Amino acid sequence: MNATFRPLVKPRLLMDDDGHNIFSTLSDDYIKDIDEAVGDCPPNVTTYLLCCGAGKFYYPTKVSKVDPRCKQLIAEHEKGHDPFKYFMERLKAAGKETCVSFRMNDVHNPEDEDEWNLPSVRKTHPECIVDLPAVKRGDPDWFNFGVDYSHPAVPPYFGKLFAELLENYPMDGIQLDWMRFPCHLSGTPEEVWAKRDHLTRFVATIRELTNAKGVKLFVRVPTSLAGCRVLGTDVVEWVQRGLVDAVTAGPFLTSDFFMPIHEMRSAMGESAVPIYASIECQHGFQYHNYESTRAVATGLYESGADGISMFNFPTQGRHFHQEVYSSYIEGLENPATACRKPLLFSVAHRRVRKEMDLPGILPVTVEAGGSFEITLRVPAAALPAWRARLLLVTKADCRATLNGEAIESFKRLRAPELFLEYNFDADQSAGLARPRRAHCRSFRFAPELLQAGDNRLVIHNEGQAPFYLERVNLGLW
């Protein structure tokens, strides 16, 4: 077992489901739909986090409104049925620790005419957003529309929603998801940190509600203490004051193969609670597959994670008309089984990263006659290996060295992925399409050249023109 895994902490493998692909696509037999969704959840999942909605909700709320796009859901409510409650009951009957996940600032499509995701508080107080000047000048960035928790109308509104949920739905825990979306206080990062007490007071208020019901309180926050500072989520104080029972760290809409979790736990001191690490469905422009989910989990366990949280994997499975996540998470509940090869690692990409995330490295332009150095980190549990391959997505011929040694380039073009990856046509415009084989360069080398920890990979451009390096993947067998 990986020495960084703490066996005295209750092991959890968490499934974080946004719920939309169930509640927005219900048939006239919602029981069959939900029974199938619960049946799809693998047995190694200990904890299910079911999202209750965003600006509008999936349960018959009296504080706000139901998502108007969920037509069949509304029809079931009119019949006196509550599919959200049934989903939770079936999860509990399946032996899962059953929790509600609450998105603290979902800003999907904030200006849609049907107002499907408009929080009631923003309807009555349009000035309560984090960047009103940007909205007034026509800046369409969704993040401008996040509600500002320093506005006096915002905390009471959300407090009523939490009170309603806790009163009407028996649950084991509730998660405050501060990463969906991370925009809760107005101003510069320094000004946000100066106003962090607004978030802390809100967490304390919810803690009083959960304590009264005997319910655990989880929070999802950025991957690092520096990121928490940018967002105003003072997770160390929350833990030290006993306000939360567990923390999940994760980036916004991507995956980090390593996180500074040891630093976060050290700052918490003797009050430390379990820290779980979140894996998104994608890493850069790639969807996770069987090999990459095991690789990222291996790196996160080595980083000090007490368990893994899978964000939106059920949703992606339903998008693809196959429950892909069911097989992807096999063995992820334990570092000793998560590291089973083959494994696929990728270098951190800047796609969709925000200022509270860890920095991305790629893409980069390598100038003619120049080189670019990358620290290629490999967890100890991934070694030894019997075969190693490196794949670069770039149109140019290039040379590579690893830890000072030249590695062999395949002369013949090979497949544009090391392992089978999923792509579908709708992703063409989003840049997630499969790279062309002519745009990829493959290398092989003796796996003994790799060492546990940091490895020095240098990409050399010996041509007469700059080239663009989009992606770097490492495969181990």
pLDDT for the residue 7 = 43
pLDDT of residue 43 exceeding 50 = yes
pLDDT for position 319: 56
Quick one: 394 exposed, middle or buried, by C-beta within 10 A (0-12, 13-18, 19+)?
buried
Q: What is the pLDDT of residues 247-267, one digit of tens each?
A: 999 999 999 999 999 999 999
**One-letter identity of residue 40:** D
Give whole-number Cα distances, 266 to 178, 244, 260, 271, 304, in Å: 22, 17, 10, 10, 11
pLDDT tens across 363-413, in order? Answer: 999 999 999 999 999 999 999 999 999 999 998 889 999 999 999 998 777
Sign of the alpha-carbon dihedral angle for 115, 24, 288, 12: positive
pLDDT of residue 1: 37
Nearby residues of 426 by Cβ (< 8 Å), 6 or more positions away: none
Q: 146 near 129, Cβ under 8 Å?
A: yes
pLDDT tens, residue by residue, 82-121: 999 999 999 999 999 999 999 999 999 999 999 999 999 9
Instruction: Indicate whether 216 pLDDT > 70.
Output: yes
pLDDT of res. 429: 56
What is the distance between the alpha carbons of residues 321 and 365, in angstroms, rounded to a whole number? Answer: 37
For residue 251, what pLDDT is reported?
A: 97
pLDDT tens-digit map of 180-210: 999 999 999 999 999 999 999 999 999 999 9
State the Cα–Cα distance between residues 284 and 379, nearest whole angstrom: 20
Between the CA of residue 140 and those of 47, 133, 137, 143, 230, what are the distances in Å?
A: 36, 12, 9, 9, 22
3-state secondary structure of 81: coil
Band (pLDDT 50/70/90 cuts) for residue 437 is confident
Written as six digits, the tokens of 19 are: 């719920």
How many Cβ atoms are within 10 Å of 415's Cβ, its own excluded? 13
Going by C-alpha positions, the residue among 181, 170, 136 that lies closest to residue 50 is 170
Map out the domains of the chain with their CATH numbers.
12-340 (3.20.20.80), 364-476 (2.60.120.1200)
Q: Is the pLDDT of residue 68 over 80?
A: yes
Maximum CA pair distance of the chain?
71
- pLDDT at residue number 4: 43
Averaged pLDDT, 306-330 = 75
Instruction: Tell me how far CA of residue 85 lies from CA of 37, 48, 184, 285, in angstroms.
Output: 14, 14, 29, 36
pLDDT of 327 reads 75
Residue 475 to residue 457: CA distance in whole angstroms: 14
Average pLDDT over residues 324-335: 84
Cα 236 to its chain centre, rounded Å, is 21
- DSSP per residue, 191-229: HHHHTTHHHHHHHHHHHHHHHHHT-EEEEEE-SSHHHHH
Q: Are strands 307-311 and 275-279 parallel, antiparallel or unpaired?
A: parallel
pTM of the model: 0.95
pLDDT at 435: 85
Average pLDDT over residues 217-227: 98
What average pLDDT is seen over the chain? 93
**Percent of the residues in the chain that have a pLDDT greater than 90, as a whole number:** 84
Chain centroid to Cα 145, Å, comes to: 21
Grade residue 171 by pLDDT with cuts at 50, 70 and 90.
very high
Least confident of 3-7, 244-248, 293-297, 412-416: 3-7
Name the more confident of 447 and 21: 447
